Amino acid sequence: MAPSVRRDEPLASHTAMRIGGRGYAFMITGDGTFVSHPRRELLMRETMFSVAEMEDRTDLVDLGRRMIRGETGTASLYDPLRGRLMVFFRPVGAMGWSIGILFPEEEALADITRLRRAQGQIGGVLRMIEEGRECQDIVMQLAAVRRAVDRAGFSIIATGLKQCVAEAHERGDSEVDTALMEKLFISLA
């Protein structure tokens, strides 16, 4: 039996969580009704399907169907105002509800993009060496590679720190493995 939320219940207990720069989490019931979303006017009044119809968004219909079936996965969406979006979703226990975490694609893939750019720059450095280019040019290109890799590394560690804090909070533990985090940060220094 799925838990229910009464329509007259205070909405404060069902507010959405902002994630990263422009991402957020949302939650729907087994029939697709929003119980958590940054757009408070949707809460307990609209479903994924009614919003999809209002906004003429077949991608939301497909996502909603997958979520209410209890699937775990990812989906790519296109919002005319926000561009390409990635949604990660999964069921919430045995409640029949589902949670989705939505990010602009460029934000979700930023570290991967940085590392791919660095990979291309390394190829460029190798070509410069093979062509016998000036040492100064090669060193400047290597410095650019290092900055790109460092930024991705620090971003990944920051994400890991957030996860450690969230996991400790879920366990009811106020201690985070600060020694591990310190070791990771120092390894990039």
Cite the residue boundaries of each domain of the chain with CATH code 1.20.58.1000: 109-188
Cα separation values, 188 from 31, 118, 135, 146, Å:
47, 16, 25, 10
Within 10 angstroms of residue 22's Cβ, the number of other Cβ atoms is 13
Cite the residue boundaries of each domain of the chain with CATH code 3.30.450.20: 11-105
Q: Which CATH superfamily is domain 109-188 in?
A: Metal-sensitive repressor, helix protomer (1.20.58.1000)
Architecture per CATH, domain 11-105, reads as 2-Layer Sandwich (3.30)
pLDDT band for 1, please (50, 70, 90 cuts). Answer: very low
The pLDDT tens digits of the residues spanning 6-55 come to: 444 444 344 556 666 678 889 999 999 999 998 889 999 999 999 999 99
pLDDT band for 108, please (50, 70, 90 cuts). Answer: confident
The pLDDT tens digits of the residues spanning 129-176 come to: 999 999 999 999 988 888 888 888 777 777 666 666 666 666 677 666
pTM: 0.58
